Amino acid sequence: MNVYAIVIIQMFIAGATHIVAKAVLHDVDAATLTFLRSLLSTLGLGFFLLAKRGNLSIERRDWKRLAFLGFLGIPVNQYFYLYGVNLSTAANGALLYATTPVFVLLLSHFILNERVTPKKTVGILFAFVGVAIVVFERGIDFSSEYTFGNFMILIAVVAWAFFTIYGKPMILKYGAMQTTSVAMIAGMVFFLPVGLFVAAQFPFRTLATAHWAGILYLGIGTSIFGYMLWYYALGRIEAAKLAVFANGQPIVATLLALAFLDYTLTGTFILGGIVTITGVILTQLG
């Protein structure tokens, strides 16, 4: 399958994550949700590692890097994002996540020695402006009451940028599936003490089928397939060219809202979508 087809699939998975996460967080705290999400992904990825029957062939010096990826992926990225979104708004989260390509562009230049070209820079700027047009129409509020939540989301964004950059050498060496599996299991180990403590006090009997469906989506759909597809694509295109697709997530979320939440398609959304897509194309040509 073409790598850009993979990226588009990943973008739809990630775009739906914003809607699902916000819905589940209405009744489940961020720590419990992170624990359940990572537990499901660990079980799924653990089966993959068992199938390899111990033939991981990972060099000793790489275990620390993979453990660091896990720390970035679950305790920092997943938990801080969910915690931040619960204290802020979905629109704020979408706009803050649209800054991901900027961080990735800078880090890829200094760490991976990828070139910062004028087309990449302009493309990422276009994509960000396009997302801003869409998000501002839906409403955005950076008032003081959301400051802490916005800061938590920004930490999650930076963690995702580092997760992308530091993950690339491991992907090229061990493949997307093995790298994702080891990293996510390591991340679960890091989060386990906090997750167990909080989850032990949560009233699970209050959860409905819809809650469990959302948790399954976040644990399997996002944390296994979404992460693995992201790493798969990262092994085949430059980090900055991949990261700019993150700007399509708010647009995907809006399209899903149009389909399932009775939203109305507007000229502003169409304009923002066109500007974002233009930015993505320019970045790929860079």
**What does the DSSP assignment read for 218-272?**
IIIIIIIIIHHHHHHHHTTS-HHHHHGGGGGHHHHHHHHHHHHS-----HHHHHH
The whole-number average pLDDT for the span 203-209 is 94
C-alpha–C-alpha distance, residues 153 and 137, integer Å: 20
Q: Please, what is the average pLDDT of the chain?
A: 84
3-state secondary structure at position 69: helix
From the centroid of its chain, how far is CA 64?
22
C-alpha–C-alpha distance, residues 126 and 120, integer Å: 10
**pLDDT of 264:** 62
Percent of the chain past pLDDT 70, that is, above it, reads 85
Percent of the chain past pLDDT 90, that is, above it, reads 43
Q: Find out whether 259 and 76 touch, Cβ atoms under 8 Å.
A: no
Q: What is the pLDDT of residues 1-32, one digit of tens each?
A: 788 899 889 988 988 887 888 889 989 999 99
Q: What is the pLDDT of residues 64-114, one digit of tens each?
A: 999 999 999 999 999 999 998 888 776 677 777 777 888 888 888 888 888
**pLDDT of 28:** 95
**pLDDT of 269:** 66
In 3D space, the residue among 14, 140, 23, 145 whose CA is nearest the CA of residue 77 turns out to be 14
C-alpha–C-alpha distance, residues 57 and 61, integer Å: 12
**pLDDT of 122:** 78
Question: What tokens does 48 get?
Answer: 């993959």
Which one has a higher pLDDT value, 46 or 69?
Answer: 69
Q: Find out whether 234 and 171 touch, Cβ atoms under 8 Å.
A: yes
C-alpha–C-alpha distance, residues 92 and 218, integer Å: 20
Tell me the whole-structure pTM to 2 decimals.
Answer: 0.85
Q: Find out whether 73 and 183 touch, Cβ atoms under 8 Å.
A: yes
Q: What is the DSSP letter of 202?
A: S
> How far are the Cα atoms of 44, 109, 191, 224, 233 from residue 220, in angstroms, in the given order?
8, 32, 18, 5, 18
Domain ranges of the chain: 3-285
- Check pLDDT > 70 for residue 142: no
- Check pLDDT > 80 for residue 278: no
Determine which of 102-111, 113-122, 251-260 has the lowest per-residue pLDDT on average. Answer: 251-260
How far the first Cα of the chain sits from its last, in Å, is 23
pLDDT confidence tier of residue 224, bands split at 50, 70 and 90: very high
pLDDT confidence tier of residue 127, bands split at 50, 70 and 90: confident
